[in-house]
Amino acid sequence: MKKNHVKELWREGKASVGTWVVLGSPITAEIIANMEYEWIVVDTEHGAIDIGTTQSIIQAILYTGAVPMVRVPWNDPALIKRALDAGAYGLVIPMVNSREEAIQAVQATRYPPLGIRSFGGPRTRLYGGADYFEHANEEIALMVQIEHVDAVNSADEILSVEGIDGFFIGPSDLAISMGLKPGLDQTDPRHVAAVSKVLEIGKRHGVQGGIQVGSAEAVNERIAQGFKFIALSSDEGFLRSAALSALGNVAKDRKAP
């Protein structure tokens, strides 16, 4: 089976940097995947992206170096199974708040005997290789989102579940669960402490830490802090910021001479 490059980086102790695609366009994904982003997560939680389109996006980036991943809308075995069969090499599962939910995510993601994933999905063998079944449990990266104060409190129970490779912090959702305002740059000490706590627990269990950031500077800080899976903006974010910034420098008075 073709190796999961993100897991290779992790084995070398290196952080990986990727981004999200939320626009549902195979082309935006392809453009970004032709840069040095190490992975692309197709965000089917907040993007209106169906499974057919998810598969098209994954197909569009397979010739690049970026590892294709999917955030499913919910910790639901049907959604997880379909994302994997469409070719995802990694999963991000929203709102995992308890050990039970973590176990359910593992069950859905892993083939027996670790879990209950159903055999099938011939596309996976095209790209992954004929021995996909034998190695998928090992190569597929499973990340659970810690994005609620309840999950922080249960982090030890969650991250000690066998079969989980990483966690991913959604700063905004974590913040609003604490009564703070949403946003990527959270400076409230409670938020900062929660993130640190989860990171430490993850390290103890050999589970990689992931987080969403909004700038290159924040990427570098998070790497320094020990995060290994850092999401820098999204196709939507890149497009919006550049289009806005370009226009900002255009003269407002357009009366021609």
**Which active-site residues does the annotation give?**
46
- The piece of 107-115, 151-159, 161-169, 187-195 that touches a second copy (CB under 8 A) is 107-115
Residue 116 in the binding site for a second copy (CB under 8 A): yes
CA distance 82 to 88: 9
- Contact flags string 161-200 toward a second copy, x per CB under 8 A: ---------x-xx--xx-x--x------------------
The pair of structure tokens assigned to 185 is 């740059």
Residue 248 in the binding site for a second copy (CB under 8 A): yes
Q: Which of 8, 34, 188, 196 binds a second copy (CB under 8 A)?
A: 34
Q: Which of 3, 5, 73, 205 binds a second copy (CB under 8 A)?
A: 73
Residue 120 in the binding site for a second copy (CB under 8 A): yes
- Contact flags string 204-223 toward a second copy, x per CB under 8 A: -----------xxx-xx--x
Are 150 and 177 in contact, with CB atoms under 8 Å apart?
Answer: yes
Q: How far is the CB of 183 from a second copy (least distance, A)?
A: 9
CA distance 215 to 88: 26
Q: How far is the CB of 164 from a second copy (least distance, A)?
A: 19
Query: Quick one: how far is CA 240 from the chain centroid?
Result: 21
Q: Is 18 exposed, middle or buried (0-12, 13-18, 19+ CB in 10 A)?
A: buried
Are 77 and 104 in contact, with CB atoms under 8 Å apart?
Answer: yes
Q: Is the dihedral of CA 21, 68, 167, 49 positive or negative?
A: positive
Residue 137 in the binding site for a second copy (CB under 8 A): no
The pair of structure tokens assigned to 170 is 């959604």
Q: Which of 11, 13, 187, 189 binds a second copy (CB under 8 A)?
A: 13
Q: Which of 6, 7, 41, 59 binds a second copy (CB under 8 A)?
A: 59
Are 23 and 30 in contact, with CB atoms under 8 Å apart?
Answer: no
